[in-house]
Structure formats: structure tokens, C-alpha cells
Structure 1
């Protein structure tokens, strides 16, 4: 990881903290990192927490802690330490790319699933409006992917209301809180969305779901017809096309007898960043009831993969090497994340488009 890569990684962590609502500041255009000074720890340091503290209305050490939380699994970092009034100190690692790729491939489509919300029970009120139904269904899946018990009241949902049941404790609610006991809340947590039609007949399942889930719940759904066009302006097409490109790269690699295996460092900062962010994005989407975060993250992952794909296999008379095997493994990991994210949204990942 170069100083420029590290600067982008820290900037990305700040942006995620702002998107999550943990920090209320204007994201700076760039973040300066420099070699750690004598007496410091690690190899590089940044004073970004001190810079943001005043506008955030927090102490610099609090801001540094929020940023540090979002850097713990960042590829290329062995450790992050907070020193003094709030300096962030970074220790780099040379094998982080290998570990990330192996972690993704070992977990498969379940990469990013975890237990952060284990012990939490969430039930959603019964809804009939088409978009609310799709969003609620998707949020239930997101919550379960993070270890929560979640479901919708009524019907044959396994967490449906039974005689004598009371609404489950919500995320962030302490035992004894009365949040779920207010008038009108006894039927479960409500999903609030701007209404939209689930037009499967005209769009098919994939485009119909993307039109409702890609837009933030309070925004109007995406127009349906453009989602059927095979064009780079179509976000759904880009994501599914990127996945199909990975499948073709793996087929062509097999023909060239190139087996995916991460053996040497690959210069693909944006793609590594997208893969490393995936678990955090899934957790934030579950906590905020916001499937659109997953959709936007898939777009970023797809764009990074499409920019990287041309370097994966040998060109012309170039002989296959460890670099190609490593790039192919990284591409396979990206495809795994795309497939897993689409699955969370209830959208298919085709091998060919």
C-alpha cells in the first residue's frame, strides 16, 4: 500500500462514517498522511481526527475512534493506533490482499454475513403496498445475514405474531424500554417507503426489484424501461454484466491453464477497497433498513471490476504468470461479492448476458 492508497483508504473510512450517521461533517476532498515522526508508532500518521473534531462537535479522540472502527478490516493495514490528542497511526502489511481474497473465496456468497446483530429480534408490521413488501422482505434478509432474528408479522412468517406474543426488541433498544409499546406500535416496526409498483409482468423480477430497491426508500423508484437496456448507463446491467465478465474470465483462464491463486501483490486499490467494505455495507444496510446501500455498493464494485478486467489475462504473446493467477483470483473474489450482494436483493446473477 502506497501513501496515496492509504490516504484514499482513510478518506473512504471517513465517508463511510458520514454515510452511517456516526459523523456529521463535510467529507474533505483529500486526507494527508505522512511518515510517522520520531516517538510515534507505525509507519504513517494522520491528523484528520483533529481537523474534523470541531465541526463534528466531538473530541478528536472520539472522532479518531469512529474512523479507526472503519479501518480495522481495511486491506493493506496491519493495525491502527490512536495516540496523543487524536492522531491516527498506521502499520502496513504486505499480505493483506492475499488474506482478503482468500476470505472472500472461502466464505463464498455468504462473505459479509456475520453475528453483529445476534440477540436482536425485529418484527415488521404487515404491509400490502408493493414496494413496502419488497423492501421489508429484503431488510429481513439483511438482518438475518447479520445474526438478528427478523420477520414480518402475519402470514406464514416463522416470526409471525402468535397468541401472547409481544413485538421483539428493536436494534438499539434496551431491555425495559417502551419503544415498542406506544399506541400503534404493537403490530411491529413499520417500513416507510415512497410507494411504487412491482411491475414484474413488464420488467421481469430482476429489473422490477432493482427499480424499487436501488432508490432510497424515501425517493421515487427508478424508471423501469431503462433498466431493460443493455447499456452502461443502466446500473443493473453494469452490475450483472460485471459478474458475467468474471465468469468468462474464469472460463478463458481455464482454457489457458491459469488457475486462480493469489500469489503476488496486485495493484487494484479501488477493487480491494470495495471488497473490504462489503461486510460493513451489509451491516449498515441492515441497521438503517436501507437496501439501496447494498445496490450502490454493488455498482461501485462492478465499476472497479470492469476497470480492472482488462489486466487479468495475458495479452498477445504474453506468457501466463503468477501475476495473472493472482489477478484472476481477485476477479473471482469480486464476482463472489457481486453474486452475494445480488442474492441479498433477490436478483439473479447470470453467467452470460
Structure 2
């Protein structure tokens, strides 16, 4: 199970509990599942029991116990469920299969993560929010209130370029005034904006270099890419949360995490010295290509290009 499947699994658990008479009330169309905050229990958490308790006329912790039991019994991808506080469900997932995840990203392309189914900053933030919402099947939500670019910053598009200026406007919550610094123009890994675009270019370069060595990507076990695998698996969940909260900054943060994981991993992809291409190299290349797909898709949702070369 990848993290994005978790919210659907929780909805199924509520529906089955209602159908079997364990719970009464309404079944939500979707539930919020987010990464657990530092110091919290498990990897992911959801307040769904508090949401369902009102219509079920039960205490939230009672609802949580019912759902926890069903999820552990019916969903093989969940390793453990813990109930904390007034009724929060906290999940730990079983390890994700690298081959299965890469195949899913390949099949969906830049639409991986999509749910089945007038001022300068406003002109950047609102379309990005709309695209992220549309990727999750959300339509008609009120547009977020957007703090404008400060007058002191002047013509930021002319000063930094359209994409770099847009990144600065999107990487902080819409209600906050964005900050523009010379770091946006830096072409090295000290710049998050540069790292995201550079990581995409590196993914493309790895594919080209592998072709020159006579091998292509093939999904398989990539145990040495666990950090990259984790952030790729979380991407659909991040999109869902970004849409729910109208918060494109969640997407920018996650793209940085994907880029950093890919840049740390890239050195393992190609054979070194006299080493011959192996199944492990093909699997690593497939994982790197999947990361490039996610970076391109995320940048497209933000209204930015994903360069093949930098």
C-alpha cells in the first residue's frame, strides 16, 4: 500500500462498518490523512473518527477502535494502527514494493498522484491551487485569499525570471507575503528552486547515459533507494493535502524532498568502472526515471517547466 491508498482504505473501512451495522451515520466521500508530525505516533494520522463520531452518535475513541480493527483485518498494506488523543488514528504502513510503485508511476506518467476521477501573485497562486484541486477531482471551492507581493520588491518577474518568481510566491502560504532574495538566481544546490529543476535534468541525463551503456530501465527491487521510494510513494497524499488545504507550498516542499532524495541516489544508478549493467542498475534507473516523472508533474501543476538541461 502506498500512502495515497490509505485515505481510500479508511473510507472503505467506514463504509463497511456502516453496512454491517457496527456504525451508523454518514460515510464521508474522502478523509484527511497526513504525515504524522515530529514526536507523533506512527507514520500517518487521520481525524476520521472525530469526523464520523458526530453522525454515528458514538464517542470518537469508540469509532476509532471499530475502524482500527477493520483496517488491520482487511488491509494487508497496514502494519499497525494506534489510537491517540481523543480518537486520532495513527498508521504505520508495510514497506512499499519499489517495482510496483515504479510501474504505477510509469503507467500514470505526469498524472501520477491525481485522484481517480488578478494581482501578480494571485495570477500565480490561484491557478496553481486550481490545478492541484482539479488533480484531486475538487471543483468550485472558493479561491484562497492571497497576500500580494510587497511594493518594495518591485518587478520580481523582471528581476528573477517568471519561474523563479513563481516559486517564491508559491513556497509560502497564500496569506503570507512572499520573500524574494538573490538566492533565487543562484545556479547551485544551495537553492531549492535550482535543486528541483536540476534533479529533473539529472533524471533525464541518467536515462541518456544508460542508453549509451546499452541498458534501459526495468522496474525491480531497489532496496538502496528506500528514501527516494518513500517520498515518491507519498506524492499522491501530498497532492491530496495540498488540494484540501489550498496549499501549494506543501507541493513545493515535497518536490524539494524528492529532488534531494534523487540527487543523493543518482550516484548508484550507472555502473562504475568496468562494472557491467545488471538488474540492480536497471531497477535503480527505473526508480530515478519515476522521480523525474514526479518532478515534471509537480512543476507542471505549479505552472513551471521541467528542463531537460541546466
Same fold flag (TM > 0.5): yes
CA spacing shift, 1:249–1:61, aligned 2, 3 Å: farther
Q: Which whole-Å CA distance do the structure 1 matches of 2:82 and 2:168 have between them? A: 48
Which of 230, 237, 259 is matched with 1:273 structurally?
Answer: 230
Q: Which whole-Å CA distance do the structure 1 matches of 2:201 and 2:290 have between them? A: 13
Query: Shift of residue 204 of structure 1?
Result: 1.6
Which of 145, 154, 168 is matched with 1:192 structurally?
Answer: 145
Query: Shift of residue 193 of structure 1?
Result: 2.4
> What is the TM-score when the length of structure 2 is the normalising length?
0.72
Secondary structure (helix, strand or coil) at the match of 1:143 reads helix
Query: Shift of residue 134 of structure 1?
Result: 1.5
Contact residue 81 and residue 88 of structure 1 kept, 8 A:
no
Query: Shift of residue 263 of structure 1?
Result: 3.1
Query: Shift of residue 30 of structure 1?
Result: 7.8
Provide, for residues 163-189 of structure 1, a one-character-per-residue CA deviation record: whole Å limited to 9, x for no partner. xxxxxxx4xxxxxxxxxxxxxxxxxx2
Equivalent in the alignment of 1:300: 257
Secondary structure (helix, strand or coil) at the match of 2:179 reads coil
Higher helix share: 2
CA RMSD of aligned residues (A): 3.8
Q: Which whole-Å CA distance do the structure 1 matches of 2:109 and 2:97 have between them? A: 18
CA spacing shift, 1:347–1:59, aligned 2, 3 Å: same
Equivalent in the alignment of 1:133: 123
Which of 284, 287, 290 is matched with 1:327 structurally?
Answer: 284
Structure 2 residue ranges without an equivalent (≥5) = 7-30, 51-58
Structure 1 residue ranges without an equivalent (≥5) = 1-8, 14-19, 33-47, 119-127, 151-169, 171-188
Query: Shift of residue 267 of structure 1?
Result: 2.1
Query: Shift of residue 59 of structure 1?
Result: 2.5
Which of 207, 210, 220 is matched with 2:167 structurally?
Answer: 210
Tell me how many residue pairs correspond in the alignment. Answer: 261
Query: Shift of residue 220 of structure 1?
Result: 2.5
Provide, for residues 228-251 of structure 1, a one-character-per-residue CA deviation record: whole Å limited to 9, x for no partner. 111222110000010111111111
CA spacing shift, 1:262–1:24, aligned 2, 3 Å: closer
Q: Which has the higher contact order (CA 8 A, sep 6+)?
A: 2
Q: Which whole-Å CA distance do the structure 2 matches of 1:336 and 1:277 have between them? A: 14
Contact residue 262 and residue 326 of structure 1 kept, 8 A:
yes
Provide, for residues 189-225 of structure 1, a one-character-per-residue CA deviation record: whole Å limited to 9, x for no partner. 2422222167222222210110100112233313143
